[in-house]
Amino acid sequence: MSRTLYDKIWDDHLVDLQQDGTTLLYVDRHLIHEVTSPQAFEGLRMHKRKVRRPELTLAVPDHNIPTTDRSKGISDKESKLQVDTLRNNCKEFGIQLFDVNDKRQGIVHIIGPEQGFTQPGTVIVCGDSHTATHGAFGSLAFGIGTSEVEHVLATQTLIQKKSKNFRINVNGKLPEGVTSKDVILKIIGTIGTAGGTGYVIEFAGEVIRGLSVEQRMTICNMTIEAGARAGLMAPDEKTFDYFKGRPMSPKGDEWIKALAQWKTLYSDDGCEFDKEINIEGKDIEPLVTWGTSPQDISPITGRVPDPEKESDEDRKSAMYRSLEYMGLKPNMKISDIKIDAIFIGSCTNGRIEDLRLAAKLLKGKKVAKDVTAMVVPGSGLVKKQAEDEGLHTIFTEAGFQWREPGCSMCLAMNDDKLTSKERCASTSNRNFEGRQGRGGRTHLVSPGMAIAAAIKGHLADVREIH
Amino acid sequence: MEKFKNLKSIPAHLPLMNIDTDMIIPKQFLKTIKRTGLGKSLFYEMRYNEEGKIIKNFILNNEPYSKSKILLTGKNFGCGSSREHAPWALLDFGIKCVISPSYADIFYSNCFNNGILPITIAANIIQELSEYSKRKKEIEINLKEQEILYGNKKIKFDLDPAKKKRLIDGLDEISMSLEKVSSINKYEEKIKIVKPWITRND
């Protein structure tokens, strides 16, 4: 019987299956960070439980740490307590930790692949919704709550029911200036923020195959913004090359065996999907969001939509609320929207390729007057690589701040946040009300579009930057 | 986990779609290392102004809704971040049941790990229930019968039987899974041979 990629990984991880479909699913890789794990360890202690397989969990602080110099420790008391708690828990339960000043520290979804901890065909979970990122390597990766983190620590399994299969084919080729960020924004705009609820999405098609591994990660990363817990892509030669020689990748004979298994990870010809749609690459333009939901997209050449033209009453009132929060008027040109801040970073767009692309466009230019701009590399190794290539000089000479790695202004748990009514072109993943700071206004964009906005001081077309 | 008991309460109605978990509990409250104490910060930015003063016209700031155990909301409730702080905040505030046309997946499963019942029901029923919120009349939730009772009406709702049992019995999922430890052992023995690279010894 022909099976989808999701079916194959699922079947391969069944520990126990009950009649009603309730499944005990094995977890191969578990990532934890300081914000969603303390209560899980507390639960273990309360019930006198052990961590079943400590070597299958990897810990890193990322959400709640400063991105300024932290060689002398963390000054924020609560933040310090959370990071200290993670350190103590890892020590007590024997879990490997990349601590704040470890050069491998970084955003959990960047360091997993970087180290080869992430691998094709595995089930990967983390108490973070952007765990979907790892699906770009052909792993079934999804976000879980803290109770489930505790469950994985204690049992190395999760109780799950299978989702439905959804395939999105992105066909043809992408026009110039269009990146994988625009592809995923287009997908979310097309199916809506709940369009993937109850499904695991497999991304396929010529456009996906043509993307680099890092660009693919941007797409899977934001699958959750379309409502699906997990997004998947079949691994290919690019994927296998990516993992060759990574510190935690299989080696020697095991590499040969692993590769043979990884090559079986694709949806069989003729397998059926519960839902399938096609998107044409040529129809995608450089996009921005105008509202407070990731589905609120517009081409950079477009105008802010008019809620009066919306027939659905709930949607209409949501649009009015968004426009009021965002301080925008219907029908104004998107490229007339002035910007106060630029954020380049996050698990969506904080990798070396993102920084290279941004630096290339920025070289020799300056950040517009009155615009605050910040680059936060996704990991210590990304930061080092960028510095070895001299990218940091391009950023700092143009007026960008060059920060230490972490989640930073993507969720603004640390000091990196917008003030009320401040407007940001951001390469992150959520434009929710207050996401980047109370009253802050977020426009989601690709790294190239963030550079265009930085130079012009307003939302601008990356195709006009040379 | 506490067992879910039948509920009677005046529901509070928040007629917004796509309420995300950032709205339910903003990031500054995620710095805690505890599960409790988040109720006062539930829907923080809607409940308090920038000076931290109570916003009078927000529904949960007013009697009797400040004591509501049932929340009526728009579709796709709980989207966004996986933070379990969202159900913790709801529970700490006193909300034990959410009624919405749809939920985001992660939030939905987080509810069952905290004894909260998320009921999925058509938008027109929520509209009817919202009248009871306006009139400050109680509605009743009977989990065993899977019914919402209001006025002289009784509406059935669907629920996965395993999830229902967990709420009614207040079952600890980890204990349930640990009973299957021999299956887990067996699985691990198998992958040691079939996929030896999964076991890390570096």
Q: 3-state secondary structure string, A143-182?
A: ECCHHHHHHHHHHCEEEECCCEEEEEEEECCCCCCCCHHH
* Torsion angles phi and psi, residue B73, rounded to 5: -145, 175
- pLDDT above 70 for B201: no
Q: Which residues of chain A have pLDDT under 50?
A: none
Name every chain B residue with its beta carbon within 8 A of the beta carbon of A78: 31-32
Smallest Cβ distance to B35: which of A20, A39, A228? Answer: A39
Residue B31 contacts A where some CB pair is shorter than 8 Å: yes
Which residue does chain A place closest to B19, by CA atoms?
A: A432
ipTM, interface predicted TM-score of the complex: 0.96
pLDDT grade, residue B202 (50/70/90)?
A: low
- pLDDT above 70 for B160: yes
Smallest Cβ distance to A55: which of B28, B87, B200? Answer: B200
Name every chain B residue with its beta carbon within 8 A of the beta carbon of A144: 82, 106, 109
Strands A164-171 and A275-280: parallel
Residues in contact with A55: Cβ distance below 8 Å, sequence separation at least 6, in sequence order: A96, B199, B200, B201
Name every chain A residue with its beta carbon within 8 A of the beta carbon of B159: none
Residue B122 contacts A where some CB pair is shorter than 8 Å: no
Smallest Cβ distance to A151: which of B173, B197, B201? Answer: B173
Smallest Cβ distance to B180: which of A15, A194, A430? Answer: A15
The reply to whether residue A36 touches residue B83, judged by beta carbons under 8 angstroms, is yes
Name every chain B residue with its beta carbon within 8 A of the beta carbon of A85: 33
Q: How far is residue B156's CA from residue B142's CA, in Å, rounded to a whole number?
A: 10
The reply to whether residue B105 touches residue A438, judged by beta carbons under 8 angstroms, is no
Which residue does chain A place closest to B108, by CA atoms?
A: A145
| Contact predicate A426/A436, CB 8 Å | yes
What are B95-130's pLDDT values in tens digits?
999 999 999 999 999 999 999 999 999 999 999 999
Task: Find tokens 């967990």 and name the residue.
Answer: B166
Q: How far is residue A450's CA from residue A424's CA, in Å, rounded to a whole number?
A: 9
Nearest CA to CA, how far is A227 from chain B (Å)? 6
Q: How far is residue A346's CA from residue A325's CA, in Å, rounded to a whole number?
A: 23
Smallest Cβ distance to A127: which of B28, B82, B202? Answer: B82
The reply to whether residue A318 touches residue B79, judged by beta carbons under 8 angstroms, is no
| Chain centroid, CA B48 distance in Å | 22
Nearest CA to CA, how far is A1 from chain B (Å)? 22
Residues in contact with A405: Cβ distance below 8 Å, sequence separation at least 6, in sequence order: A62, A67, A105, A106, A107, A350, A376, A377, A378, A379, A380, A382, A383
Nearest CA to CA, how far is B41 from chain A (Å)? 14
The reply to whether residue B16 touches residue A318, judged by beta carbons under 8 angstroms, is yes
Which residue does chain A place closest to B160, by CA atoms?
A: A20
Nearest CA to CA, how far is A15 from chain B (Å)? 6
| Contact predicate A196/A110, CB 8 Å | no
The reply to whether residue B45 touches residue A433, judged by beta carbons under 8 angstroms, is yes
The reply to whether residue A147 touches residue B110, judged by beta carbons under 8 angstroms, is yes
Please choose, from the candidates A411, A275, A106, A109, the residue with its C-alpha nearest in 3D space to the C-alpha of residue B80. Answer: A411
Name every chain A residue with its beta carbon within 8 A of the beta carbon of B177: 24, 151, 154-155, 157, 159
What are B14-40's pLDDT values in tens digits?
999 999 999 999 999 999 999 999 999
Residue B131 contacts A where some CB pair is shorter than 8 Å: no
Name every chain B residue with its beta carbon within 8 A of the beta carbon of A248: 200, 202
Smallest Cβ distance to A198: which of B27, B105, B181? Answer: B105
pLDDT grade, residue B140 (50/70/90)?
A: very high
In one letter, which amino acid is A463? R
The reply to whether residue A49 touches residue B184, judged by beta carbons under 8 angstroms, is no
Smallest Cβ distance to A413: which of B30, B76, B201? Answer: B30
What are B33-62's pLDDT values in tens digits?
999 999 999 999 999 999 999 999 999 999
Q: How far is residue A87's CA from residue A78's CA, in Å, rounded to a whole number?
A: 14
Smallest Cβ distance to A64: which of B26, B31, B174? Answer: B31
Q: ∠ CA(A125), CA(B73), CA(A329), 5° rounding?
A: 95
Q: What Cα–Cα distance (Å) separates residue B137 from each residue in A364, B12, B131, B133?
A: 67, 11, 9, 6
Q: How far is residue A378's CA from residue A395's CA, in Å, rounded to a whole number?
A: 15
Name every chain A residue with its beta carbon within 8 A of the beta carbon of B16: 318, 321
Q: How far is residue A366's CA from residue B162's CA, in Å, rounded to a whole number?
A: 59
Name every chain B residue with its beta carbon within 8 A of the beta carbon of A296: none
- pLDDT above 60 for B93: yes
Name every chain A residue with its beta carbon within 8 A of the beta carbon of B179: none
